[in-house]
């Protein structure tokens, strides 16, 4: 019995060490694979929830202070930790076909429904903007873009009670090709990468609205989406 134990112990140690290395490697690869980007100003719903509550996401005060983020954290914490991974692959430019009405903010319930809570109507925290403003998208992995498109909901749409549909949107800003690495380097901890600014014009708006961003990455047929909540003051 003692001989068997002495022979098996090194194998167990090798197995444990090997498993630990594999786990660390998996975390490294997944972390880097998920490093993509999102709208950071005005912040996308999941980026804003991560920014405000990432260091305190179990605080019960969130339920009353920031109820839409609370319901999102309860639904799937990974939607906020992976704020930069809300994308779909191989859309081929057919965004309306890939994202049914009511599912735009979740990227058509991408990632097996991880981001479904982003579609929920309600009093998401808003950013005050003028009718002419700038949207900042952060390209964390330096993908570049075939284009960015920014839409704003039409006057009369109610984000408090309605899920977002394509007929609710008006194109308010767009770019052409943005080269990989083009933009302003970020100095904010946890971001890295570069930020790209898009000029947006949405005349005639007042009150609460949703800004919807479409980012067609250049490195692959990978399209990022994001909903940001604004208040035209």
Length of the chain measured in residues: 233
What values do phi and psi take at 80, rounded to 5?
Answer: -90, -45
The verdict on 15 and 122 lying in the same domain is: no
CATH of residue 65: 2.70.50.50
The verdict on 18 and 80 lying in the same domain is: no
User: Which residue range(s) make up the domain with 13?
Assistant: 1-33
Instruction: Check pLDDT > 70 for residue 103.
Output: yes
Instruction: Check pLDDT > 50 for residue 10.
Output: no
pLDDT in tens, 44-98: 999 999 999 999 999 999 999 999 999 999 999 999 999 999 999 999 999 999 9
Ranges 9-13, 158-162, 195-199: which has the least confidence = 9-13
The verdict on 180 and 75 lying in the same domain is: yes
pLDDT in tens, 141-177: 999 999 999 999 999 999 999 999 999 999 999 999 9
Distances (CA, A) of 194 to 3, 26, 38, 64, 197: 59, 26, 11, 34, 10
pLDDT at res. 171: 98
The verdict on 114 and 224 lying in the same domain is: yes
pTM reported for the whole predicted model: 0.85
């Amino acid at each position: 019995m003692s001989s068997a134990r002495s022979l098996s112990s090194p194998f167990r140690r090798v197995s444990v060490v090997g498993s630990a290395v594999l786990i660390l490697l998996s975390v490294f690869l997944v972390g880097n694979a998920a490093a993509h980007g999102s709208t950071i100003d005005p912040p996308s719903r999941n980026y804003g929830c991560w920014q405000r509550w990432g260091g305190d996401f179990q605080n019960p005060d969130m339920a009353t202070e920031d109820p839409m983020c609370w319901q999102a954290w309860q639904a799937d914490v990974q939607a906020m930790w992976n704020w930069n991974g809300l994308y779909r692959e191989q859309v081929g430019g057919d965004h309306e076909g890939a994202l049914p009405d009511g599912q735009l903010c979740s990227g058509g319930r991408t990632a097996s429904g991880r981001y479904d809570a982003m579609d929920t109507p309600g009093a998401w925290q808003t950013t005050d903007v003028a009718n002419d403003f700038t949207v900042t998208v952060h390209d964390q992995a330096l993908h570049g873009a075939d284009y960015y498109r920014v839409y704003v909901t039409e006057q009369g749409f109610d984000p408090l009670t309605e899920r977002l549909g394509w007929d609710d949107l008006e194109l308010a800003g767009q770019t052409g090709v943005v080269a990989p690495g083009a933009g302003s380097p970020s100095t904010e901890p946890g971001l890295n990468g570069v930020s790209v600014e898009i000029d947006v014009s949405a005349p005639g708006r007042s009150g609460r609205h949703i800004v919807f961003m479409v980012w067609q990455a250049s490195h692959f047929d990978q399209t990022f989406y994001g909903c940001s909540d604004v208040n035209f003051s």
